Amino acid sequence: MVGIASSWIYDGSAAERLWQKSAIGRPLNDGSLELSPVETIFVHHHRNLDLPTGDWMINALSENSLLLQEYSVLEALRVPGNKIVLMRNMELFPHNIQPQSWAARWPSNTHPRNSEAIAEVRWFHESDKLDATELHNWAIEVRKSARIPEVLVVDEELSVVTYHLSDESPSGSFQSNQALESLASLSGGISSADGMLFTSKNWDIEQLGVPTEAGIHLDSIACEIVQGLTPLSEGAMILSDLLNRGLVMRPGFKYGSRWRCYDKPLGEDHAPFLVVLPEDAPRDWAGACLASRLASGVNKIWLHPVRQGDSWNYLAITRPPADLRWSNPSKR
């Protein structure tokens, strides 16, 4: 039996097996299985079922122009054995997932009827806008349910990459407020490039400042704090927050960010964090993937500041361990 293009009511002999073994589709009272378009394509390619009709694909694409992209995501997740329940079918189970989520994921050795999901999934096209605040809020709520906030991104070649989201609270070993108090007491600086130079004699601000032969250089953002400007720019507020967290700040230019942040005194360890200013942050997922991959390549965590009232939180978009990176199987 063929329904409208948005679903397929499959009543063949494999219906019960598709649900009982793989949690595919939505079981109906008469023993048939309602399959979404993306699940229909999956069972066609991976369970050897014919498409409902010869023109089914054209009709389905006319209703959802991103169907092939969505299928690439489902295929990347299901081929390794994960069980994926789409949001439209979550009402079948006593599990609540966030309304922004596209699906929930169970590992291969479990089933939605008797176990909890371990991840909630969203997917984006590489050209989709990056909304850091909304993503940060979603990640927090998903983590509260002890699930992984997973994002899969699809490019123009229908290739898929996986990222995990988290709310990070970077902190360092320096005393809170010490650097800000010292900055506020500075005087006698001279203009230099995009900032000011101060004498290196008796310089005691270990968290900030780039040594040069003419003195210690502070950039324009740090100089706002020195000059006591009000209101501070967004960048200066973020810098103040990071200094209050005890981090050591250095320029992040060669890593494509505003700052690289150390949690220990310089020379003791590598900087674990790269922080971008929101105004300079990627506007789409292609840019976010590039920034996160660059950070991962140098063993750092890429952080996007997110303002929450008068405080700052930090969204991390990271590459997961190799066994949790879902990507396309071999192309047909």
| Amino acid type, 213 | E
| Residue 209: partners with Cβ closer than 8 Å, 6 or more residues away | 198, 203, 216, 217, 218, 222
Please answer whether residues 43 and 12 qualify as being in contact, where contact means their C-beta atoms are separated by less than 8 angstroms.
Answer: no
What structural domains does the chain harbor?
Answer: 8-169 (3.40.1350.150), 174-245 (no CATH)
What is the token pair recorded at 21? Answer: 């073994």
In whole angstroms, give the CA distance from residue 104 to residue 238.
Answer: 34
Q: Which amino acid is at 42?
A: F
3-state helix, strand, coil in the chain (%, to 5): 30, 25, 45
The answer to whether the CB of 40 falls within 8 A of the CB of 8 is yes
Could you give phi then psi for residue 191, rounded to 5 degrees? -65, 140
Question: How far apart, in whole angstroms, are the C-alpha atoms of residue 284 and residue 306?
Answer: 16
CA distances from 95 to 29, 163, 189, 286 (A): 21, 23, 60, 32
Q: What is the pLDDT along the chain (332 residues), one digit of tens a residue?
A: 333 457 899 999 999 999 999 999 999 999 999 999 999 999 999 999 999 999 999 999 999 999 999 999 999 999 999 999 999 999 998 888 999 999 999 999 999 999 999 999 999 999 999 999 999 999 999 999 999 999 999 999 999 999 999 999 999 999 878 899 999 999 999 999 999 999 999 899 999 999 999 999 999 999 999 999 999 999 999 999 999 999 999 999 999 999 999 999 999 999 999 999 999 999 999 999 999 999 999 999 999 999 999 899 999 999 999 999 999 886 65
Question: What's the rounded Cα separation, in Å, for the pair 319 and 325?
Answer: 8
Cα 244 from chain centroid (whole Å): 25
Instruction: Evaluate if pTM is beyond 0.85.
Output: yes
* CA distance linking residue 23 with residue 123, whole number of Å: 20
Among candidate residues 242, 258, 257, 327, the one with its CA nearest the CA of residue 287: 257
